[in-house]
Structure 1
Amino acid sequence: MTLDLQHAAQRRMRRAVLVLVAVVLLLVAALVVIATRDGGSDNGKGSPTQSSPTPKAMPTLPEDDGGYVAPTQYVKLPDGAEKAGDLPTKFPRTPEGATAMLVASARNAWSFDAATVKAGILAYASADYRDSMAASAEDGAVGNREFAGVPATGDLPAGATLNAWPIGVQWSETDASTVNALILLRVTHAAKEGAEPTTTIVVSPAQAVWEEGDWKVMPTDPAENLPDPVDVGTAKFNEDGWKAIQEGDRL
């Protein structure tokens, strides 16, 4: 990592990072806000949300002493061979391919735009859940707006931003058609122009299944004993077994 990126990481580590304690469906990450607010719905096939505890804000990183701890494990996830609009699809049938799909869906889900959220659902959701999840795309976008502190409806304030940056992954292969993964994301948002950006580190459990010649997302059950959210560049990142995602010349 370049010196500039190391300094940027150190500045991020000096900020208090919030914990988002919730079950996050990778395709509709924003629905975590709705689930925690409304208590979710049943866990039947037609429901994309599940109940979860109320989010708590707490520091997750130790005081930064100015040091940067380089990741001990890296992964260069494979690209999709095709695209659905702007979204990569047709990932290789490997654990890394499944994880790459989950990372792509996670990145796309954190959006203020319902059409963007819906496009990700149509591209990545398992067929059994696709229609019901697509019907909730508008709710997902509203949840994202509420999470970022902007009005739930109407025009976005000038300068309002929401970006999710996947920074680490873990995975385990159940069989050749099922891969369970944890996605570590750095979610940054600002409510309006001039507002100080807020960064939240999120750990999202996810499952990929091989279906229709590609990996697809399956809704996950509430997970217990998730690792603490930690930023890349800390000793804890390595201690907890995270693999840093490498894209081009960056982590």
Structure 2
Amino acid sequence: MLAAVLGLTACAAPAGGHDGPVADKGSSTPSPMAAPATSQQIPSGPEEETYSIPSTWTDPVCWAALPRGSRTAAGTGYQTGFPDTTEGAVAVLVAGSATNLQPGTSLADQQAAIYHTYLSSADQIPGGEAKVRAKAQQTEAENRSDLGLPAAGPLPRGAFVRGNVVGFKVIQQSRGEETVYRLTKVSRKAGDTSPVTEAYVISVLGAAWQDTDWKMSVKATTDAVARTRGQQPSTLAAPGDAKFNDAGWTALRQAA
């Protein structure tokens, strides 16, 4: 969601569905829950694809066990201090996507904490937190509307909107910078008795090594989007689909 806060539209190929992970071009596709904020405008990616998960399970060939951070950020409680490896960079991009809208939570507070913890200091612009909070409130209202829920007030018991990164694919590695395609599953539920709807979204994201840690980077993301412009981002396929392996995705142990 942070992608849209200050003007960036993540390069994405979403596929949303009702009553399970089946795409429907006529359905409303939820926004991915997090991506880096920026003051620059980046064109959106390809149009929505139709996608259905096969009934037979195929084990992912490539797995990554992402490292945990070595420190805890003061004031937010999020993990920081990831190792200077590709897995460390991906871990930051996953951690920066860890938002969960459910009863008793504030999406605005979550996004503000992510903004201060994981976004590069060079990209934390004046008034940035206020813009993050305003966009988070707008995103929550849009999700409530899509789910047929009231625009304000406590969420019903069992209602949620969750973004869960389930895979990645490296675009480019260079000294101090990593860029990847990120595959996110967005799950939504209007309440205890409602079905779960799911969508898969491909985003281009970049991380840069800053001081002693990885941070979500506008420049790395912008460069990656420019580098991949005009290309099919990657085959949209979930873990368990043979096409996931054919496309070169790496599944995440923590997302299995």
TM-score interval w.r.t. the shorter chain?
Answer: 0.7 to 0.9
The 1:13–1:176 alpha-carbon spacing in structure 2 relative to 1, beyond 3 Å, is farther
Do residues 233 (structure 1) and 231 (structure 2) align? no
Question: d(CA) in 1 for partners of 2:100 and 2:207?
Answer: 16
2:23 matched to which residue of 1?
17
2:39 matched to which residue of 1?
46
CA contact (8 A) 1:21 1:54 kept: no
Question: d(CA) in 1 for partners of 2:248 and 2:234?
Answer: 9
CA contact (8 A) 1:158 1:192 kept: yes
2:3 matched to which residue of 1?
none
Matches within 5 A, 1:87-98: 87-98=78-89
The 1:144–1:239 alpha-carbon spacing in structure 2 relative to 1, beyond 3 Å, is farther
Matches within 5 A, 1:3-82: 15-17=21-23, 26-27=35-36, 46-47=39-40, 50-52=42-44, 56=48, 58-61=49-52, 64=54, 66-82=55-71
The 1:135–1:155 alpha-carbon spacing in structure 2 relative to 1, beyond 3 Å, is same
Matches within 5 A, 1:210-229: 210-219=209-218, 220-221=221-222, 222=225, 224=229, 225-229=232-236
Give deviations 1:91-112, integer Å, cap 9, x for gaps: 0111111111111111238785
2:110 matched to which residue of 1?
116
1:180 matched to which residue of 2?
179
Give deviations 1:203-232, integer Å, cap 9, x for gaps: 111000011321111133355421133211
CA contact (8 A) 2:32 2:201 kept: no
The 1:53–1:168 alpha-carbon spacing in structure 2 relative to 1, beyond 3 Å, is closer
Give deviations 1:29-62, integer Å, cap 9, x for gaps: xxxxxxxxxxxxxxxx635x64536964x53126
Question: d(CA) in 2 for partners of 1:212 and 1:116?
Answer: 24
Matches within 5 A, 1:194-205: 194-205=193-204
1:31 matched to which residue of 2?
none
1:146 matched to which residue of 2?
142
Structure 1 residue 176: Cα displacement: 2.0
* TM-score between both structures, scaled by the size of structure 1: 0.74
Question: d(CA) in 1 for partners of 2:47 and 2:128?
Answer: 23
CA contact (8 A) 1:110 1:164 kept: no
CA contact (8 A) 1:24 1:205 kept: no
Question: d(CA) in 1 for partners of 2:31 and 2:155?
Answer: 27
2:129 matched to which residue of 1?
134
* TM-score between both structures, scaled by the size of structure 2: 0.73
Structure 1 residue 87: Cα displacement: 1.3
Aligned positions, number: 218
Question: d(CA) in 1 for partners of 2:217 and 2:131?
Answer: 16
CA contact (8 A) 2:235 2:244 kept: no
* Residue type of the alignment partner of 1:75: A
CA contact (8 A) 1:27 1:117 kept: no
The 1:161–1:236 alpha-carbon spacing in structure 2 relative to 1, beyond 3 Å, is same
CA contact (8 A) 2:36 2:205 kept: no
Structure 1 residue 155: Cα displacement: 1.3
Identity of aligned residues (%): 21
Structure 1 residue 188: Cα displacement: 0.2
